[in-house]
Amino acid sequence: MSAEAVIEVEGLRTRIGSQQIHDGLDLRVRRGELVALIGGSGTGKTVLLREMIGLMRPSGGTVRLLGTDVWSASEPQLRALRRRVGVMFQDGALFSSLDVAANVATPLREHTDLPEDLIDDLVGLRIALAGLPPDAAHKMPSMLSGGMKKRAAIARALALEPELLFLDEPTSGLDPVTARSLDRLLRFLCDDLGITVLLVTHDLDTVTGIVDRVIALGKGRVLADGTLDEVRAVDDPWIRDWFAGTGIRAAHGG
C-alpha cells in the first residue's frame, strides 16, 4: 500500500460557543485505505467530516485533502478538489424534488460540460455500480427504501469518479442484511476501484468486518488509531465498552 497521505489533519481545534470539540487533533489517511472514524456522542465526528470537506471552518489547524489545503485554497483550487472528492451525507440528503437519475446527474451538470446523452450514460453506470436496479433511476426519493436511498446517495457521490469518498453513517437505520450488503459495496469501491474511503460510523459490524484501520476520537483528540486489533487492545473504558457493544448507542449522533 502506498504511504501517500490523501487526508492530513494537523493541530485541528474546533470551538462551538463555549464548548471545545477538538483540541489539537491530528490524523492521516493513506491512499487506498478504508478507515472508520468512531467516537462517543459529542466527540465531533460529523463536525470533523464537515471541516474536512470545506463546509465548516475549524477554529485552528490545517486540513489537506489530496495535497490541497482546504482552508487556504483559492476558489479554482477548491472547485478542482471537489471534482476529486465524493460525499454521502447522513441519511443520504437526496434532493426530494428530483428523481434518482437527476440526483446522480447533479454533480456532473455542476462540474462538467459533458453533453446530456453522455451524462445519461454515466448516470446509468453509477446507479448500477451502487447496486440499484435500472428502474430506480426514475423513482423519487420518497419511493425508495432506506437501503435504496443510501445506494442512490452513494451513486451521486460516485458521479465524478472520486479518488476520495466520505460517508457519514452509511448503514445507520438499515436492517442487518442491507447494511452488510452496503459494507461489501464499500469494500469493492476500495479494493477494485482504488477509492480511499473514510466513514463515520457507529456500526460495530462494519468496523469489525470491512475496515483497514480504525480512528477513535475522544477528549478532543485521537484516542486511538490503528488496525482493529490494535485499537481494540487500547486500555480505555470507552473503547472497551464500544467493542463490547455497550457503547454503540452512546456513540450514535456524535
Q: How far is CA 181 from CA 150, 162, 219, in A?
A: 11, 21, 33
Find the length of the chain. 254
> What fold does the segment set 5-245 form as a domain?
Rossmann fold (3.40.50)
CB atoms within 10 A of CB 42: 14
Gap between the Cα atoms of 131 and 134, Å rounded: 9
The per-residue pLDDT for 173 is: 85
Q: What is the mean pLDDT of each run of 10 residues along the chain (254 residues)?
A: 82 92 95 95 90 92 95 90 90 86 93 91 92 92 89 92 94 88 92 94 93 94 95 93 66 45
Question: Is the whole-model pTM more than 0.75?
Answer: yes
The per-residue pLDDT for 63 is: 96
Within a 13 Å sphere around the CA of 205, how many CA atoms are in the beta-carbon half?
14
CB atoms within 10 A of CB 40: 22
- Which is nearest to 178 in space by CA: 135, 133, 145, 138? 145
Q: What's the grid cell of residue 31?
A: 491512499
The per-residue pLDDT for 223 is: 94
pLDDT in tens, 68-115: 999 999 989 988 998 999 999 877 688 889 999 999 999 999 888 899
Gap between the Cα atoms of 11 and 27, Å rounded: 9
The per-residue pLDDT for 92 is: 66
Segments in the chain forming alpha helices (H): 45-52, 75-82, 100-111, 116-129, 146-157, 176-191, 204-209, 228-232, 237-243, 248-251
Gap between the Cα atoms of 227 and 79, Å rounded: 33
Gap between the Cα atoms of 159 and 49, Å rounded: 20
Gap between the Cα atoms of 228 and 124, Å rounded: 36
The per-residue pLDDT for 111 is: 87
Gap between the Cα atoms of 221 and 27, Å rounded: 9
Q: Phi and psi (nearest 5°) for 159?
A: -55, -40
